[in-house]
Amino acid sequence: MAKKATVYKNFINGQWVACKSGKTFVNVNPADTRDIIGHFQDSGPEDVNAAVKAAKEAYKKWRLVPAPKRGELVMELGLWLKKNKERIARDATREMGKILKETRGDVQEGIDCSLYWAGEGRRQFGETTPSELPNKWAMSVRQPIGVCGLITPWNFPMAIPTWKMMPALVCGNTVVIKPASLTPLSVWNLVKGAEEVGFPSGVINYVTGGGRGVGTPLCDHPDVSLISFTGSTEVGRQINLACAKDFKRVGLEMGGKNAVIVMDDADLDLALEGVLWGAFGTTGQRCTATSRCLVHRKVYDKFLAMLAKRAKALKVGPGLDESTEMGPAVDEGQLNTDLEYVQIAKKEGAKLVCGGKRLTGPKHKNGFFVEPTIFADVTPKMRLFKEEVFGPVLAVVPFRTFEEAVAMQNDCLYGLSGAIYTRDVNNAFTAMRDIHTGLCYINAPTIGAENHLPFGGVKQTGNGHREGGKEALDLFSEWKAIYVDFSGHLQKAQIDTDKIVKVK
């Protein structure tokens, strides 16, 4: 007899509760859709209202907890993640498909993020500065914002929720988190850990459901002061417009169409490993994935042949198999998008080098598997050059000069990540200066960000805010300037300054 699937509930005001409608949705394994992971709450506006109300009430006390003490609780949660790392990684692979090596890294990033932000509880530095008037003290301090709505994606179901939650909490905010409907279990694990280590009721609230039922009401709620969103550019645009009417603070991390430049003096073996990992890691389902490979004409044919040979040999299968090198697409919709772009590229004249088909063998027939796909002779006018696929479809493009390569790298609506492989230090430093992206890698792929540095992009990748590193403080806290006048009489700034006796 098949084991009955678990029903998972929302977490509101310290209690695990069903949604008001009583409806649930099914979470399935994309490597084998017969494997039902669980039933999750299909929540609506009433549930969002309850979560926001709890967060608003909890904020009154949480903001007064000293920041170092808030950091200590965040540290405890990071240590809890470390203790449960393998189980959580297996849950993540089961619900979103990427291989165990990657989900272990995903959880490790959550651990690292937690421990980093625990330290920031003692480092929310302001400034003291001289006043222009005598016997007057001037300084700046950070203060929390209020209730933060966190809307997270499915491709990094542990790393990205911690990127948002940990700085929000350490800054003194309370949160309502809406996980992607494809990966609610990973965030359930995170929230369960928060409950076990003792976060006060209402500080962290977890509501599952779709964009219309949960995401839109969260963005529209008058008591939500901030929305932090990671996902598609189109949804991010809608969120930005929805929040504008109430002047909510909004942090957006959206699409990418990232390119690696392979110069003729590059270490081709090193570049090969980097491009393969960047293009086909996480089945290409990263905003930082290498989706364009710009190769110098002098080494184009050789490098293309190297790429094709290795891509054809990649083992595609269920991520829980330790020998698998690439897992499935996350769902049928993403699989269809991958295959649709294969047809678009063919129609526009790109040369299919390898892949391009759905895998339907014995290990693949119940999942959403597609071959690692490479197109050659792609031109800047083609859609495959310009549009984000979010799958294992790599466009290889020839160029003749360094300047041409940089121009093609920047010929994009997005500006998240860029990379170059070269032994020429002058070209390396010029690329660092001229590649117009938020992330830049030298002799490394377009993926591999570390959480103590700012993460985000330019153009239609984001709206200027950054996640990761101390720069995230500027999203999750407000500045307050403070003046203390101990002169004993009224001093008028910019008016009385000319009355001050000059020192001879």
Active site residues: 253, 287
R_g of the chain computed on alpha carbons = 25
Q: Which DSSP state fits 500?
A: S
Q: How far is CA 356 from CA 204, 313, 317, 352, 390, in A?
A: 43, 14, 16, 8, 14
Cα gap 97→335, rounded to integer Å: 12
Q: Judge contact between 97 and 180, C-beta under 8 A.
A: no
Cα gap 196→202, rounded to integer Å: 14
Q: Judge contact between 416 and 255, C-beta under 8 A.
A: yes
Cα gap 336→342, rounded to integer Å: 10
Cα gap 251→477, rounded to integer Å: 12
Residue 92, both tokens: 């993540």
CB atoms within 10 A of CB 452: 14
Cα gap 276→304, rounded to integer Å: 12
Cα gap 11→14, rounded to integer Å: 6
Report strand pairing: 174-178 vs 204-206. parallel
Q: Judge contact between 190 and 178, C-beta under 8 A.
A: no
CB-count burial class (<10 Å; 0-12, 13-18, 19+) for 24: buried
Residue whose C-alpha is closest to residue 406's, from 422, 387, 393, 423: 422
Residue 97, both tokens: 């498909």
Q: What is the 3-state secondary structure (H, E, C) of 380-400?
A: CCCHHHHCCCCCCEEEEEEEC
Residue-by-residue DSSP string for 192-239: HHHHHHTPPTTTEEE----IIIIIHHHHH-TT--EEEEES-HHHHHHH
CA atoms within 13 A on the CB side of 59: 23
Q: Where are the beta strands (DSSP E) in 400-486?
A: 414-415, 417-421, 439-442, 458-459, 477-485
